[in-house]
Structure formats: C-alpha cells, structure tokens
Amino acid sequence: MLLGCEVALPGGSLIRIPSVPRSSTGPDLRQLFLGSEGTLGVFTELTFRIHPAAQTQLGSCYTMPSLKAGVEALRLMLRAGWRPAVTRLYDGTEAGRNFAHVDHDGKPVLLLLSEGTRARVETEAVEIAKITQALGGRDNGSEPVHSWLEHRNNVPEFTDILAQGLVADTIEVAIPWDRVTQLWEQVVERVSKIEDIIAMSGHVSHCYTQGANIYFTLVGVKRDYARALQLYDAVWKETLSTTHELGGTIAHHHGIGRVRKDWMAKEMGAAIEVHRAIKQALDPCGIMNPGALIDSGR
C-alpha cells in the first residue's frame, strides 16, 4: 500500500522516497523502513495507494469436511488467480466460538467475500464456489459473512479476560501451502499438552499465491502471576519453535517487538548481521526505540 514516504533519520536528516508506479534504482528503501518498528527512523510523510470503492459485494459461508479440505480450497482459488477480499478459515474450535448459529457439526468454517465491479464479483463468486463445493464444502449462505463484517471488531478487552482468571493472547505466523495444515495441527497438539491450557485454536485470515497465515489463539488458566508468565512463555516457545522447524515465518503482521526478538536470528541466520549493520549505520547511538526488533550490539 505504501507508494512513497519521507523519513526523519536519527541524526536529524530527512530522506524522501518518491511515489512512482515502479522503480529499479537500486534496493527498495521503502521496505527498509516498513517493519523496522521505529528503530531506524520516523515517518514524517506517507503516500498510500488507494482503490475505488467496491460496486458490490457477495459473500458465502461453507462448512468444510476438514482443515485439509479448507486449506486446499483456498490454495486452488489463489493459484487460479482469484482474489476474494475475505478468505477466512476457522478450525472447529473457533467455528464453535464465533459461529454458534451456523450448523457446522464441529467442523471448520470457511468465509469468502468477493467485492469490486459487478461483473468481476459475479464471475469470481461462481468459480470459487465450484472449487469449494468440489472439496466437500456445504453452503451455509451469506448471512454469517455479513454478521462477521458487522461484528468483526467487537473483541473482548484483555483486562476483562484477566479478570476472569485467564491467560490469553494471539500468535500469527505464515507458511507455504504444503505445510499449512501440518503446522496448524502440530501447534495445537503440542500446546494442548501444556499444563493449564484450556484451548489452543486457529484460523487463516490472509492468503497468498504461495501460502497463508495462521492466527492462533491461546487460552489458559491464570493460577498466579508467576505461573501465568511461565504458561505464556511456554506457548510462545512451542508455537514459534514448531513454525521454525517447518520453515514458516514467526511473524505475519504483528511484527517482532520484544516477545519474538530472540527468534529473529533463528529465522534469518547470517542475514541478521545485515540488520545489525544497518542499525549501527543509521542509529549508532541506539536512540531509536531501543530494545525493539534486534539488539544491535549482540
């Protein structure tokens, strides 16, 4: 979405990256600052790509016979070149939590939404329906999609969750298509064995030609503060180690911050030294968001 920007560097100088459709004048410096979490500079101006408002929308909800079938349906859609605006696959646990009014028999639920020009939406909707139904998807109509759109941002506050004596968080990762189901099942299986875990579940929220993300949700019992921290760290370690073992990435869209920082070197290998060198060159005094993303002195 970012076409161009102006960035204030730690030394006080400004650099401007022009807004052009495409450029081959060396490395794309936009990507250097995107995801840097304030460790390399401060954005002072941004130019974003915009899109026309959709003429129409068409949603559909399916009960899938298995996670594997749901993942394969999404893979085939994206491989064929279709680009639904919403591609969300919930496992049985999350389907029960979010779509109690849908008859899914404890099986995964798939939400799809096409939007754009009327001709494009109608064509895409027909084709993705063929793919989904060929893999055993049972059509539940469009109402669950509209309900999700209306209520998708109504989530409980963490303070409310803690007040109930629970430990909860979300962890999002991403991985190529051939390992999405394997990662999903292994993380849920391994985390579920940790003492005091009540539920570990997940859903796919974003899809790409090469793969998808999984957005895991953990819920555990908060016996006391020390045990809550142990439980929290154990779930994160199990999830990220499994993701790393299978060749996925430890952060899809929430970034690294401090919780995942120690895993950066495991994923990047020798390339982490490039990060450190850039940090040292742009911010030798370490004044920009110290402690986030990487420790340049390590």
Q: What is the pTM of this model?
A: 0.93
Residue 92 maps to a domain:
yes
Tell whether 102 and 136 lie within a shared domain. yes
Residue 289 maps to a domain:
no
Tell whether 60 and 147 lie within a shared domain. yes
**Domain encompassing residue 31:** 2-50+258-282
pLDDT of 154 reads: 85
Could you tell me if 224 and 169 are in contact, meaning their C-beta atoms sit under 8 angstroms apart?
no
Residue 105 maps to a domain:
yes
Query: Does 297 have pLDDT greater than 60?
Result: no
Residue 295 maps to a domain:
no
Tell whether 40 and 81 lie within a shared domain. no
Could you tell me if 153 and 226 are in contact, meaning their C-beta atoms sit under 8 angstroms apart?
no
Tell whether 44 and 65 lie within a shared domain. no
Residue 296 maps to a domain:
no
Residue 64 maps to a domain:
yes
Domain count for the chain, please give it.
Answer: 3
> Tell me: the pLDDT tens digits for 74-126?
999 999 999 999 999 999 999 998 898 898 889 999 999 999 999 999 999 99
Query: Does 13 have pLDDT greater than 50?
Result: yes
pLDDT of 253 reads: 94
Please give the helix or strand (H or E) that residue 3 lies within, else none.
strand 2-8
Q: How many other C-beta atoms lie within 10 A of the C-beta of residue 3?
A: 15
Tell whether 107 and 72 lie within a shared domain. yes
Extract the tokens encoding 287. Answer: 């004044």
Query: Does 298 have pLDDT greater than 50?
Result: no
pLDDT of 45 reads: 97
**Residue 178 — φ and ψ, nearest 5°?**
-70, -10
Last residue of a domain, one of 101, 125, 151: 151
Q: What stretches of 201-251 show up as alpha helix (H) in DSSP?
A: 225-245
For residues 24 and 175, give the distance between their C-alpha atoms in angstroms, rounded to a whole number.
28
Tell whether 20 and 66 lie within a shared domain. no
Query: Does 159 have pLDDT greater than 70?
Result: yes
For residues 73 and 190, give the distance between their C-alpha atoms in angstroms, rounded to a whole number.
26
Confidence at 281, pLDDT banded by 50, 70, 90: very high
> Tell me: the pLDDT tens digits for 191-234?
999 999 999 999 999 999 999 999 999 999 988 889 999 999 99
Residue 290 maps to a domain:
no
| Residue 166 belongs to domain with CATH number | 3.30.300.330
Extract the tokens encoding 196. Answer: 């005091």
Tell whether 67 and 115 lie within a shared domain. yes
> Tell me: the pLDDT tens digits for 25-46?
999 999 999 999 999 999 999 9
Q: What percent of the chain clears pLDDT 90, i.e. is strictly above it?
A: 86
